[in-house]
Amino acid sequence: MNTAPLSNNSWQYRELNSQTPSLNALSDALIELVERGEPIVAGTADLQYSNGLSKFAELHPEKFVQFGISEQNMVSAAAGMAAVGMKPFVATFASFLPLLCCEQIRMDVAYSALPVRLIGHHAGISLGFYGTSHHATEDLAIMRSIADITVVAPADGNQLKAAILASANYPQPIYFRIQRGRDPVVYETVPDFVFGKATVHLTGDELTIIATGSTVHPALEAARALNAAGRSVGVIDMTTIKPLDREAVLTAARNSRSILTVEEHNIIGGLGGAVCEVIAEEGIGVKVRRHGIYDEYSLIAPPTHLYRHYRLDAAGIESVALEVLA
């Protein structure tokens, strides 16, 4: 992989960084749940303006807790709230939540079987210039390996809202992996949502791209370009990483000659690993290419540059798909 220094487009980065995240979907969903009578409480570690919870806090200050920069305490406190019947949603950067709070998530939340909703935002490499310490490319692997936690990566704001609303009476703890906001629209309206169920957007007998979260939109663009050129490429939005939609994976593996997984995450332990586990266990002889961050510490640059560098934009995914098709 080319590791030449990346160019700096500071104007473009400032423009991206100044935008208010489209995480209004998060607050909107929580406000709707409160209006339904659900005992919702929301908390954050000094990031309510980054994750959109400021809107919820303005409307329901008595249901909002500002924990400051004490993420581990936030997770343990959320477990305590859940233990007395509240439904807590706590949010911080995805680089902090699963890594810094892993012990609290494992013991206080998951082992205790408490329905805490953990929201890791600005996932993957979307924090750009904040650097490798703020990039979350290991969180899926960590959360997948903790028993009894559901792991979800919505593709856009509408799907995030659908997943939040669907979680109202879901018994297990959930890790929501979301982006920086202003994500390209994949779903024009709030879709129906079922945990553990993938969405098949396109089918193809040459190749099926299985994407999740931020990679769904560029995967769809790449597939449409390839199909317009005469290829047969399908796309699956694997929103729930755990439990994985095994049937969707197996159907694609049986009906396509190759599988390409795409994720804004290390290719080890995330979506690609989960898909390979299912295919290997069934003994299906299909070629699988895992595409994402190739087991390295991500570079520092504007997100747009990083997506291009790691071939996680539409053009990059199309080029990887062509390599698989070849």
Could you tell me the CATH number of the domain that includes residue 246? 3.40.50.920
**Local structure of 309: helix, strand or coil:** helix
Residues of the chain with pLDDT under 70: 1-23
Residue 72 lies in a domain: yes
| The pLDDT of residue 295 | 95
| The pLDDT of residue 180 | 83
Ramachandran bin of 163, using left for φ above 0, alpha for ψ from -120 to 50, beta for the remaining angles: alpha
Q: Which two tokens stand for residue 172?
A: 């297990």
Strand arrangement of the beta sheet that strand 258-266 belongs to:
199-202, 233-237, 207-211, 258-266, 287-293
Give the residue numbers spanning the domain of 158: 20-177
CB under 8 Å to 181, separation ≥6 — which residues? Answer: 19, 20, 21, 22, 23, 52, 121, 157
| The pLDDT of residue 32 | 96
Full-model pTM: 0.91
Whether residues 95 and 161 share a domain: the answer is: yes
Residue 173 lies in a domain: yes
Rg (CA), the chain: 19
Whether residues 62 and 159 share a domain: the answer is: yes
| The pLDDT of residue 6 | 41
Could you tell me the CATH number of the domain that includes residue 111? 3.40.50.970
Whether residues 33 and 171 share a domain: the answer is: yes
| The pLDDT of residue 99 | 93
Residue 302 lies in a domain: yes
| The pLDDT of residue 202 | 98
Residue 166 lies in a domain: yes
| The pLDDT of residue 311 | 98
Residue 183 lies in a domain: no
DSSP annotation of 238: -
